[in-house]
Amino acid sequence: MTHPEEPSTGAHTQGIPAPSPEATTGVTTTPGSDPERPSGNGRWYDVARAITTGNALVAVLSIFLAVVVGSILILVTDDAVRESAGYLGSRPSDFFRSSWEAISGAYSALFRGSVYNSRGADFAAQIRPLTETLKFAAPLIAAGLGVGLAFRTGLFNIGGRGQMLLAGAAAGWIGINADGPAIIQLPLAIIVGMAVGALWAGLAGLLKARTGAHEVIVTIMLNYVAFYLVFYALSRQSLLQAPGSINPKSLPMDDSATMPKLLGERFNLHLGFVLALVAVAVVWWLLSRSALGFRFRAVGVNPHAARTAGIDVGRTYVVAMLIAGALVGLAGVNQTLGTTTAGVTTDLDAGIGFDAITVALLGRSHPLGILGAGLLFGAFKAGGFSMQASEGIPVDIVLVIQSLIVLFIAAPPLVRAMFRLPAKEAA
Amino acid sequence: MTTSAPTTGPAPVTDTPPVIAVVSKKAPVILAVVTVALAAAVALGSQSGDTSFRLATRNDFVEIPDITVPAVGTAWVAVVLMALCAAESVRRYLAHRDTPLWLVAVFSVIGMIGFLGWAAAGATLPVVGLLAGALALAVPLVFGALGGVLGERVGVVNIAIDGQLLAGAFAAALVGSVAGSAWVGVLGAAAAGALVALILGVFAISYFVDQVIVGVVLNVLIVGLTSFMFSQVLAPNAADLNSPPRLGPVTIPVLGDIPVIGPILFRQSALVYLLYVAVAVVTWALYRTKWGLRVRAVGEHPKAADTVGIDVVRTRYRTVLIAGAIAGAGGAFYTLVSVSQFNREMTGGAGYIALAAVIFGKWDPIRATLAALLFGFASNLQGVLSVIGSPVPSEFMLMLPYVVTVFAVAGLVGQSRAPAASGVPYRKG
């Protein structure tokens, strides 16, 4: 079917040959074929282009649209608004006043919880929400980098949950059982956690490189395998379970293995945020300044051309997944050693593994974009909790708004059509 | 498994070139490994006593006594029989012949009996309850897998099965409570699943957004939406909006009285009977009707389908909507059969198991159904064994469907090939 607006991704693909049947596959495995031959380059080319190009206007409009939909949800479910809507005809002012109160109450609570609390007693209390935002943003940024790096290589890493769980559990095991000064135990726990995350993701990369197994399916399934592995470890006292406990929970971390607080004990912001910033810098350097990063991007844009140019595509997939897993693992480590130091549980990922996908998409898989998207979603998370506490609006609204943002951003023609913007010209 | 074996017999008189057969050695290797694993478990484990297999239920037409066997002895007999099967598989491999499916089936049944006899030592294993429970647990998986198969067959990857199940569960609770009828609830669930599918279709078919991205994001969106509505609307008005009538078990006359099979297959909730109909209709429609031929053509080669005058976009929309309705109806299981109220994130990722069943079932409705039943069996077996107290950690039983799927995708268990155009948006022109 033809559209009034030619989709921008469509315009981009005109430069490359039309996907041939053997190159166009979805969730497909072709174990019989050349093991190093990845499938579906045409599609991943589109994805990579859709993620890495596009303009800021669509992003802003997408956020706006998502917030509008979220506001409608808040209005529809607000008791005062519904009541006043019952007599809208006789006293419309009531309806508009209650609507305004519901919406402004919700968003001012969101702002108070995420940026600046004007009701705080002193300056520290007033800026505390901002530090909470940074605390929530740190794992989102780290995991978002992991997903984004894989995207740039043409891989879809949905395994964030499993990688975070195993990394967090491994770091937790070191944090509980290895004794030593903080200068040794903390870095050791961080490195072991990241290494475990890397290996778990690398498994998916290896299977893709060797057998052509589609990484989407493999990473989804490995999420559940990891979940049950961690659950198993948490229900065996010889592994991770706290002695004498019947709950699937470990002991709290040693003091020498917890991440130091950055701004003193009044704030929860810890070293994890600094590590996330370092990760942004490293990934930026890796992707835009190093030979390895060039290979990643080359394979992501067109694996066939990359192979012709002498790049070992299968090996690149494995290395990319290893690094991506280490980054997602950092998010898991950040949770165990920094945010929830009371002990390892199977909830330690707190949905970050999936949120990271939305962060990477919103940030268009660019390190700085991911930094911005991570901060935005961190603010949503911090503000969502205060919105729930003060306005009684469930924090789940944040999930709705986040996923709507990503849906709209993924479909620029839809957003353009809604705002009657002219279609984007081919680059 | 992967190649056809040449027929043995007298040399052909015709001048055909010799067929070079490459016989996969995966089957004999896997059979041998499983045999050794069970033997090791029996030898190293400290199980003793007798195991009873209870085949009867309370109100049976014909009384069947329990079958009681010594646990370790049964396991060793099973190991010997399994070793014979494995040896036969090796013999066939050396003779350049494939391992037939019946051999694998016999091996699996013997292995399962041996394992159960060993694992449930000193206890009574309710065989009927185990299988009936497995079927009941598999209901949402089968519905979800059918939806997934239809979607992929027409060329749309449906990662959003979980979202459709969850939306179906939510709608079934809400609509069923308001209407006061469980069947209206099922209709509501189907409509909700179709609605999710419509969003998937708009983004994936009309706007060419990557289908995996849309699916993943839709799952998150539905979790957020249903949890939000649950806390804001359902929970405060639970009596009016979140207490749907239940679909209780219905015994089919005559068929339900058959010993063993009757209680398993024909004393189930009405949703299970709907499931039988759905599997039969989907299979028949996909392979025996003009519509099914068109669906498969669009999924394999949309351009060719377009050339002969099939409207690719319309076919995709229609099929994805039907698939969503089927998956959504499966979600009704959670709120109309399992428990009669909605709760947040109550599917617990079942949609992803259904997705695994689609792939393990090689995109075929019957095989996907069998895979879903297998996964349902694994999770119910885990429940039963943890009650009896078994030497195998329950986490590893629960892990099984996912591990099996990883092996399947990696090509270690047979070959799986998706419809050629699955996941590829169709751009005309």
Segment B34-79, tens digit of pLDDT: 888 888 888 877 777 777 787 766 655 566 777 888 888 888 888 8
AA identity, residue A113: G
The predicted-structure confidence for A57-89, as pLDDT tens digits, reads as follows 778 888 889 989 988 888 888 877 777 777 777
- Kindly state whether residues A387 and A409 are assigned to the same domain: yes
- Nearest CB to A21; choose among B207, B399, B420: B420
Question: A with B: how many residue pairs have Cβ under 8 Å apart?
Answer: 200
Residue B267 belongs to domain with CATH number:
1.10.3470
> What per-residue confidence (pLDDT) applies to B69?
81
Global pTM reads 0.82
The answer to whether the CB atoms of A26 and B152 lie below 8 A apart is yes
B156 and B240 assigned to the same domain: yes
Contact status, residue A221 vs residue B405, Cβ threshold 8 Å:
yes
Residues B257, B188 share a domain = yes
Query: Can you tell me the distance from the alpha carbon of A240 to that of B101, in angstroms, rounded to the nearest whole number?
Result: 42
Give the C-alpha separation, B147 to B168, whole Å.
Answer: 13
Question: Is B329 domain-assigned?
Answer: yes
Do A200 and A274 fall within a single domain? Answer: yes
Same domain, B257 and B385: yes
Burial A366-397 (b: 16+ CB within 10 A, else e): bbebbbbbbbbbbbbbbbbbbbbebbebbbbb
Residue among B227, B427, B429 minimizing CB distance to A396? B227
A396/chain B closest Cα distance in angstroms: 5
Sign of CA dihedral A388, A390, A392, A397: negative
pLDDT digits (tens, 9 = 90+) for B107-165: 888 888 888 888 777 777 788 888 888 898 899 999 999 999 999 999 898 889 999 99
Question: For A229, which residue in chain B has the nearest alpha carbon?
Answer: B395
Same domain, A311 and A214: yes
Question: Of B90, B122, B154, which residue is a domain's last?
Answer: B122
Sign of torsion over alpha carbons B163, B167, B169, B170: positive
Q: Tell me whether residue A91 is in a domain.
A: yes
* B240 shares its domain with B112: no
Please state the separation of Cα B412 from the chain's center in Å: 19
Q: Please state, in angstroms and rounded to a whole number, the distance separating the CA atoms of residues B378 and A98.
A: 52
Using alpha carbons only, what angle is made at residue A286 by residues A151 and A43, rounded to the nearest 5 degrees?
20
Same domain, A244 and A385: no
Same domain? A68 vs A110: yes
Contact A47 B213 (CB under 8 A): yes
d(CA B197, CA B193): 6
Q: Which of A27, A44, A215, A401 to mutate to test the interface with B (most CBs of B within 10 A)?
A: A27
| Chain centroid offset of residue B383 CA | 18
Structural domain includes residue A38: no
Give the span between the Cα atoms of A22 and B417, in whole angstroms. Answer: 12
The predicted structure's pLDDT at residue B21: 56
Domain boundary pick from B64, B95, B122: B122
What's residue A47's pLDDT?
Answer: 57
Query: What's the CA dihedral at B73, B78, B79, B83 to 10 degrees?
Result: 150
Residue A106 within any structural domain of the chain: yes
Find where tokens 């400290």 sit: B46
Cα–Cα distance for residue pair A214/A234, rounded to 1 Å: 30
**DSSP result, A149-182:** HHHHTT----THHHHHHHHHHHHHHHHHH--S-H
How many Å from the N-terminal Cα to the C-terminal Cα in chain A? 23
**Is A78 in the same domain as A142?**
no
Tell me, yes or no, whether B148 and B107 share the same domain. no
The strand pair at B50-54 and B124-126 is best described as: parallel
Distance CA B409, CA B417 (A): 9
Instruction: Kindly state whether residue B2 falls inside one of the protein's structural domains.
Output: no
For residue A351, give the chain B residue with the closest CA.
Answer: B220
A-chain CB neighbours of B412 within 8 Å are: 211
Question: What is the DSSP code string of A18-48?
Answer: PPPTTT--SS---TTS-TT--S-HHHHHHHH
Do B74 and B142 fall within a single domain? no
Residues B163, B142 contacting (CB under 8 angstroms): no
Coil, helix or strand for A2?
coil
Evaluate if residue B171 carries a pLDDT over 90. yes
Do B32 and B149 share a structural domain? no
Q: Could you give the number of structural domains in chain A?
A: 2
Tokens for B133, please give them. 């429970």
Nearest CA of chain A to the CA of B57: how many Å? 33
User: Which of B217, B399, B424 lies closest to A228 in CB terms?
Assistant: B399
Q: What range defines the domain where residue A179 resides?
A: 134-362
The pLDDT score that the predictor gives to residue A37 is 40
H or E, element range at A11: helix A8-13
Closest CA to A275 of A183, A166, A143, A132: A143
Query: pLDDT tens across A15-73, in order?
Result: 333 333 333 333 333 343 344 444 445 666 665 555 444 566 778 888 889 989 988 88
Rg (CA), chain A: 23
Distance CA A86, CA A394 (A): 24
Residue contact A400–B157, C-beta within 8 A: no
Say yes or no to pLDDT of B244 above 70. yes
Query: Residue B402 — very low, low, confident or very high, per pLDDT cuts 50/70/90?
Result: confident
- Helix axis angle for A367-391 and A92-114, nearest 10°, is 120
Residue A12 has φ and ψ, to the nearest 5°, of -70, -30
B15 domain-assigned = no
Residue B31 shares a structural domain with residue B59: yes
Question: How high is the pLDDT of residue A1?
Answer: 39
pLDDT digits (tens, 9 = 90+) for A360-375: 988 888 999 999 999 9
Chain B: nearest CA to A211, how far in angstroms?
Answer: 6
For A241, which DSSP code? B
CB spacing of A10 vs B232 below 8 angstroms: no
Candidate from B213, B221, B393 with C-beta closest to A410: B213
* pLDDT of B16: 54
- 10-residue averages of pLDDT along chain A (427 residues): 38 34 36 42 57 64 88 84 77 83 85 84 85 93 94 90 94 87 88 95 91 83 92 86 82 85 85 94 93 92 90 93 95 91 86 88 89 92 87 87 88 78 54
In this structure, are B264 and B247 located in the same domain?
yes
**Does A424 lie in the same domain as A329?**
no
Which pLDDT belongs to residue B230? Answer: 92
- Given an 8 Å threshold on Cβ–Cβ distance, is B207 in contact with A211? no
Residues A334 and A380 in one domain: no
Check whether residue B112 and residue B163 sit in a common domain: no
User: Which of residues B96, B122, B148 is at a domain's end?
Assistant: B122
What is the DSSP code (8-state) at residue B17?
Answer: P
Q: Are residues A223 and A81 in the same domain?
A: no
CB-based contact A232 B396, cutoff 8 Å: yes
Q: Residue B415 domain-assigned?
A: no
Contact A289, A180 (CB under 8 A): no
Indicate the residue among A362, A394, A410 that finishes a domain: A362
Please give the pLDDT value at position B96: 81
Residue of B nearest to A231 (CA): B395
Residues B217 and B351 in one domain: yes
Q: Nearest by CB to B349, which of A224, A355, A358? A: A224
- Is the pLDDT reported for residue B170 higher than 90? yes
Which residues of B fall within a CB distance of 8 Å from A225?
A: 399, 402-403, 406
- The two beta strands, B67-70 and B267-269, are unpaired
CB A178 within 8 A of CB A191: no
The answer to whether residues A392 and A302 belong to one domain is no
How far apart are the CA of A182 and the nearest CA of chain B, in angstroms? Answer: 34
A96: Cβ contacts below 8 Å, ≥ 6 apart? none
B150, B152, B154, B156: CA torsion to nearest 10: 120
Q: How confident is the model at residue B395 (pLDDT cuts 50, 70, 90)?
A: confident
Whether residue A178 sits in one domain with residue A103: no
Within a domain: B425: no
Could you give phi then psi for residue A368, rounded to 5 degrees? -70, -35
Residue B39 is predicted with a pLDDT of 86
- Report pLDDT for A240: 83
Residues on chain B touching A414 (C-beta within 8 angstroms): 202-203, 207
Q: Does some domain include residue B259?
A: yes
Contacts of A394 in chain B (CB under 8 A): 227-228, 231-232
CB contacts of A7 in chain B (<8 Å) are 207-208
Contact residues on chain A for B418, CB-CB shorter than 8 A = 25-29
State the ipTM, two decimals.
0.79
Interface mutation vs chain B, best among A396, A404, A405, A414, most B CBs within 10 Å: A396
Answer yes or no: do A186 and A287 share one domain: yes
Q: B427 lies in a domain? A: no
Q: Is residue A314 part of a domain?
A: yes
Taking contacts as CB-CB distances below 8 angstroms, the residues of chain B near A399 are: 220-221, 223-224, 227-228
Helix ranges restricted to H, A41-181? 41-52, 56-76, 79-86, 92-114, 123-152, 160-177
B282 is a domain residue: yes
Mark yes or no for CB contact B355/A2 under 8 Å: no
Mean pLDDT, chain A, rounded, equals 82
Contact list in B for residue A406 (CB cut-off 8 A) is: 213, 217
Cα–Cα distances in angstroms (integers) from residue B3 to residues B23, B93, B100, B202, in the given order: 6, 12, 11, 40
| Cross-chain residue pair B152–A402, CB shorter than 8 Å | no
Are the Cβ atoms of A399 and B221 closer than 8 angstroms?
yes
Q: How many domains are contained in chain B? A: 2
Q: How far is B237 from chain A (nearest CA, A)?
A: 12
* Residue among A409, A410, A412 nearest A424 (CA): A412
Question: Would the CB atoms of B157 and A26 count as touching at under 8 Å?
Answer: yes
In whole angstroms, what is the distance from residue B66 CA to residue B192 CA? 45
Q: Between B351 and B405, where is the model more confident?
A: B351
Q: Verify that B307 and B349 share a domain, yes or no.
A: yes
Q: What are phi and psi of B51, to 5 degrees?
A: -120, 135
Give the domain extent around B194: 128-409
